[in-house]
A and B are shown apart, each in its own frame.
Chain A
Amino acid sequence: MSYKTKTVLRKSAVHALLWIIVAFCLFPVLWMSIISFKEVGESITGFNALRIQNPTLANYKRLFELIPIWTNLVNSAFTSIVGTVTTLFFCSLAGYAFAKFKFPGRNALFYFVIATMMISAEAGAVPLFVIMRRVGLVNSLWSLIIPRMATAIGIFYLRQYMLDVPDAILDSARIDGCGEFGIYRKVVLPIVKPALASWASITIIARWNDYFWPLLYLRDSSKYTLMVSVSMLPVSDGLSTPWQVVLSGTTLVIVPSIILYLIMQTYQKSGQVAGAVKG
């Protein structure tokens, strides 16, 4: 085989494999959106699912009757956005302190942050619920925001970027009489903007998709996030809700996160997200 045929073969193999993988990635989502527009009477067995005769919005209408969609949507958006903004603020503040200040106990504290990075709060769910009840946050959206306002992993990730901020800039800002918080806000934050953006996109999607904590803390349907309401769809309409309706619910959950991801994708440069992991 000549070098040229080899390259052509290789090129087609790479593309073919990737197309197969893309098909596996996209298929469940496409399948779901197609079925959500099918009439309840139509067959959705096996391959029939993919043929639509009369596209309809009836499933979505039914969905809006079954669960308080707008309220749940606002709840989800509120916790995702406020949760992301607060966690970005506190994590970057702590990350800045670890990266650019020398103070007694810094290394010990930083080791502590790393050592706790992998431990998840979920294991302590029983006492956490008790604490939340004591401070009156059960059934409040703040129960989803406050405990995660500063996380070890966020601090670790943002600190790695703060390390690259040149000390000279910080020192000259100090000489110009800028306060420490002012330096953080006006000098450091603008420099690490790309890192903040990529951390924000990961966090906001994770919060939108959050399920365990809202399931644990939120007690009535007017407080539910979209994720909790949708998860209860299969049993909410008497014994069973038609698949078409359930799938219109999952479509409403998934489509916003895909759109959000595509928007943020256009703002991001490659390879940033995983930058905290050194090779």
Chain B
Amino acid sequence: MWQTLKRHRYPYLFISPYLILFLVFQLVPTIATVYYSFTEWNGLRAPRWIGWRNYQLMMNDYMFSDAIRNTFRYWIVGAIGIMGLSLLIAMLLNSKVLRAKQFFRTATFLPYVCASVAMGLIFRMLFEEHAGLINEILLSLGGSRIPWLTSSAYAWIPVVILFVWRLTPWFTMIIFSGLLNISDEYYEAATVDGASGWQQFVRITLPLLNHILFFCFVTITVDAWRLFNESHILSGPGTSNTSLFELMYTSAFKNFKLGYGSALGVVLILILLGISLVQFMVRRRTGEI
């Protein structure tokens, strides 16, 4: 044992910082979160064990069901929006007839560089009910003002738009580099055989992008479940657009219900763990690792 360690001391040494940091800042907090989730704790006195009470409370808490509903919306609408748009933009950028490629690539990537917090503030003003530009445009098109951030019914929409706006460039870039790897020969052969553009897209492009699209979907899923900045800055009335992660933050650090916040953290951990396992198994089966 000692011999092996000594002989392979360099790789172990090189990996040890990661292992130590993981232990202290991920594994221990994760286990501790599970423990705290069974306690009542306001951060001042010692945590008091209350069994499953936090989880029972959660089941009857409308704020929790609101947060789950909202996060689900961000996930589904976000995934469809981001994947659809980034596939479209990537294909446009990869088009053979396109001039000034570098310019378009740089310009369409810019939203990803912009801080979501700053963009959230900007969106707050664009979506303002009485002075915002969005409603002004709606009015000039013959529509009526929509109380975007002041009504519970609409408050989730600006959040999801910001989420899609900011993340699309990242996935565009990933899909674009996937498109670069598809050999032109496939398309040439298909054209000779008389396949239409749509047929080529469905029969060649999509199957060959399979892995990449899956990777994108997994990443978007994780990003949606840990969404915080967008809904925190663009908060609507009550919990109308609160994300699960934001609810955890508010419960623990604003209302000082640290036990309940930890229980919400456990729910998040379980969801992320599930996603992680799925992607791990798929990657293994496709021989990627």
Binding site for B on A (CB under 8 A): 7, 10-11, 14-15, 17-18, 21-22, 24-26, 28-29, 31-32, 44-47, 49, 90-91, 93-94, 96-98, 101, 103-104, 106, 109-111, 113-131, 146-152, 155, 180-181, 184, 205, 208-209, 211-212, 216, 227, 230-231, 233-234, 243, 246-247, 249-250, 253-254, 257-258, 260-262, 265, 270-271, 273-275, 277-279
Nearest chain B residue, comparing its CB with the CB of A14: B95
Q: Give Cα distance in the complex from A279 to B215, angstroms.
A: 10
Q: Are A106 and B11 in contact (CB under 8 A)?
A: yes
Contact with A along B106-125 (1 / 0, CB 8 A): 11111101111111111111
Q: Are A126 and B8 in contact (CB under 8 A)?
A: no
Known: A116-B22, A250-B122, A262-B106. A126 touches B33 (CB 8 A): yes
Q: Give Cα distance in the complex from A97 to B209, angstroms.
A: 30
The bracket for how many chain B residues form the interface is 35 or more
Question: B49 CB to closest chain A CB, in angstroms?
Answer: 16
Q: Are A274 and B177 in contact (CB under 8 A)?
A: yes
A106 proximity list for chain B (CB < 8 A):
11
B11 proximity list for chain A (CB < 8 A):
97-98, 101, 103, 106
B248 proximity list for chain A (CB < 8 A):
123, 125
Question: B172 CB to closest chain A CB, in angstroms?
Answer: 10
- The answer, among B18, B229, B269, for a CB contact under 8 Å with A123, is B269
Known: A18-B98, A278-B288. A116 touches B174 (CB 8 A): no
Q: Give Cα distance in the complex from A114 to B288, angstroms.
A: 11
Can you sample 5 A-B contacts with CB below 8 Å?
A: A14-B95, A32-B122, A101-B8, A126-B265, A127-B32
- The answer, among A46, A118, A125, for a CB contact under 8 Å with B218, is A118
- The answer, among A18, A94, A114, for a CB contact under 8 Å with B14, is A94
Q: Give Cα distance in the complex from A70 to B256, angstroms.
A: 32
B residues 192-248 touching A (CB-CB < 8 Å): 208-209, 211-212, 215, 218, 222, 226, 228-229, 233, 245, 248
B136 proximity list for chain A (CB < 8 A):
45-47
Q: Give Cα distance in the complex from A104 to B226, angstroms.
A: 35
Q: Give Cα distance in the complex from A93 to B21, angstroms.
A: 14
Question: B186 CB to closest chain A CB, in angstroms?
Answer: 13
A124 proximity list for chain B (CB < 8 A):
26, 29-30, 32-33, 265, 269
Question: B36 CB to closest chain A CB, in angstroms?
Answer: 6
- How many A-B residue pairs have C-beta atoms within 8 angstroms? Tell me: 278
Q: Are B265 and A15 in contact (CB under 8 A)?
A: no
Nearest chain B residue, comparing its CB with the CB of A258: B113
Q: Give Cα distance in the complex from A124 to B27, angstroms.
A: 9
Tell yes or no: B180 within 8 A of A by CB: yes
Question: A166 CB to closest chain B CB, in angstroms?
Answer: 18
Nearest chain B residue, comparing its CB with the CB of A246: B121
With contacts A26-B110, A119-B272, A277-B212 known, what are 16 further pairs, Cβ within 8 A? A7-B97, A28-B119, A28-B126, A45-B130, A90-B17, A93-B17, A97-B11, A97-B12, A101-B8, A103-B8, A131-B29, A227-B115, A231-B121, A250-B121, A279-B208, A279-B211
A96 proximity list for chain B (CB < 8 A):
14
Nearest chain B residue, comparing its CB with the CB of A135: B24
Q: Give Cα distance in the complex from A18 to B93, angstroms.
A: 8
A45 proximity list for chain B (CB < 8 A):
130-131, 136
Q: Give Cα distance in the complex from A197 to B96, angstroms.
A: 29
Q: Give Cα distance in the complex from A123 to B74, angstroms.
A: 18
B182 proximity list for chain A (CB < 8 A):
279
Q: Give Cα distance in the complex from A265 to B110, angstroms.
A: 11
Highest count of chain A CB atoms <10 Å: which of B4, B122, B248, B249: B122
Tell yes or no: B147 within 8 A of A by CB: no
Q: Are B117 and A14 in contact (CB under 8 A)?
A: no
Q: Are B228 and A122 in contact (CB under 8 A)?
A: yes
B residues 157-206 touching A (CB-CB < 8 Å): 165, 169, 173-174, 176-178, 180-182
B21 proximity list for chain A (CB < 8 A):
146-150
Q: Are A114 and B115 in contact (CB under 8 A)?
A: no
- The answer, among B30, B131, B181, for a CB contact under 8 Å with A279, is B181
Q: Are B177 and A122 in contact (CB under 8 A)?
A: no
Tell yes or no: B280 within 8 A of A by CB: yes
Q: Are B126 and A31 in contact (CB under 8 A)?
A: yes
